[in-house]
Amino acid sequence: MVGNGEKKAVILLSGGMDSAVCLAIARETGYNIYTLTFDYGQRNRVEIDKARCLAEKYGSEKHLEFGLDLRKIGGSALTDDIEVPRGISQDVPVTYVPARNLIFLSVAVAWAEVLGAGSVFIGANVRDYSGYPDCREDFLKSFEKTAGLGTKKETKVSVKAPLIKMSKAMIVREGRRLGVDFSVTSSCYDPDDAGAECGTCESCRLREKGFVEADR
Amino acid sequence: MVGNGEKKAVILLSGGMDSAVCLAIARETGYNIYTLTFDYGQRNRVEIDKARCLAEKYGSEKHLEFGLDLRKIGGSALTDDIEVPRGISQDVPVTYVPARNLIFLSVAVAWAEVLGAGSVFIGANVRDYSGYPDCREDFLKSFEKTAGLGTKKETKVSVKAPLIKMSKAMIVREGRRLGVDFSVTSSCYDPDDAGAECGTCESCRLREKGFVEADR
């Protein structure tokens, strides 16, 4: 517990279910929260709106939408004209966005340094699925150390990933305990123009699996 | 020596003298170069044009201008309405841009991963001046390790800082040896609207000192 709520944290908020639960955890722990959402040229535009709703709902002190067009870098089905695969993969899938969390965490640390915030929260989790290298705990630990070396001496930013060891089902249960309204989240990699989820991409499948197993 | 020039490198190119010399070194070493310049809302807009000229001059395979508006993050005299100090400081100066190299290197690594480039070059140097934490060697080493953990298993990006131990005078001499046209570089933190250098900011002073000492 942080206690008097004086402590600040930057929350990486994608608008998906994981970061929503992560936000709720940070809020419950007593942080003053600053939410950060990236418009990186992702196919799923709905999640940016969902993130904004979540930020408001959870009383974010400031919600920052930060633009950086990763389509210029390319290399991912989430940003490029590469087909989004269906089902759950074993290896690093084409939906991996090169170095995305490295970039997002770097911007979060920059903002934390300016705000004087001691923590950055990220909804990374690997139990159901560890295909993305930038969601793993050893990466996050190493990043924290690097960020400490690359910022002012007095800047100490802790990278917190409270969901890291949770399965999707555990995330759903934790979210329910905290009263997270999952309808204000969007996980789909490839929604239609109206924002409706496809139901067949990896992210939709994992989400569905989480809800099914949470009810068992 | 790389040899047949088949190897690719991403060069962080600011348009200043350091990154220009760094680019010339990478070129001489035989890399196929991909230049990356950030439009991050910096006061010095001329450097973006200079970088473009340098990229063309050195036969960059592709020159990428990547926009990310660090004014949204704030906290620096280079992007905000904070006065640029005159002369050379001892501590971390207000011209420090929070986590800038962490962010820039992260994007560079993302691009390197997509290109299959094994190296990222950065013109960081600390001999005359080590006020910026994100220019130090221990940070760069740590970053390289972190980037390795946060990208695909087959992605190995080496962070190269060939100027790291050079003084400004040494950088000038190395640039001259390589035929770098320093008139196509801009180092000023606070140029006037026509792009003329102020001559009194820390960066102008260090540049001047470099040229004076190089001629001794």
Q: Report the CATH number of the A8-214 domain.
A: 3.40.50.620
Where does residue A161 fall: left (phi above 0), alpha (psi -120 to 50 degrees), or beta otherwise? beta
pLDDT at B64 over 60: yes
Q: How far apart are CA B60 and CA B48, in angstroms?
A: 15
Distance to chain B for A212, nearest Cα, Å: 31
Q: How confident is the model over A68-78, as pLDDT tens digits?
A: 999 999 988 88
- Beta carbons of A152 and B136 less than 8 Å apart: no
Q: What is the average pLDDT across B140-152? A: 97
**Arithmetic mean of pLDDT, A209-214:** 93
Task: Provide the pLDDT for residue A107.
Answer: 98
Residue pair A71/A96 in contact by the 8 Å Cβ criterion: no
Confidence at residue B130, expressed as pLDDT on a 0 to 100 scale: 60
pLDDT band for position A44 (cuts 50, 70, 90):
confident
Question: A34 to chain B: nearest residue by CA?
Answer: B73
A146 with B142: Cβ contact below 8 A: yes
Q: Residue B187 — pLDDT band, cuts 50, 70, 90?
A: confident
Q: How far is CA B88 from the centre of its chain?
A: 19
Compute the average pLDDT of residues B100-118: 97
Burial of B168 per CB tally in 10 Å (0-12, 13-18, 19+): buried
B155-171 pLDDT, tens digit per residue, is 999 999 999 999 999 99
| A38 at interface of B, judged by CB pairs closer than 8 A | no
Q: Cβ of B131 under 8 Å from any chain A Cβ?
A: no
**A99 interaction partners in chain B (CB closer than 8 Å):** 106-107, 109-110, 113, 147, 150-151
Residue B3 has a pLDDT of 44
Mean of pLDDT values over B22-29:
97
- Taking the Cβ of residue B64 and every Cβ of chain A, the question of whether any pair is shorter than 8 Å is answered with yes
SS3 A106: helix
Helices (H), ranges, B38-82: 46-57
The token duo for B19 is 């990154």
| CB-based contact A151 B102, cutoff 8 Å | yes
Interchain CB contact of A69 with B (< 8 Å)? yes
Please give, rounded to a whole number of angstroms, the shortest distance from the CA of B2 to a CA of chain A.
25
Q: Which of residues 143-162 of B touch A (CB under 8 A)?
A: 143, 145-147, 149-153
Residue B113 forms contact with A (CB below 8 Å): yes
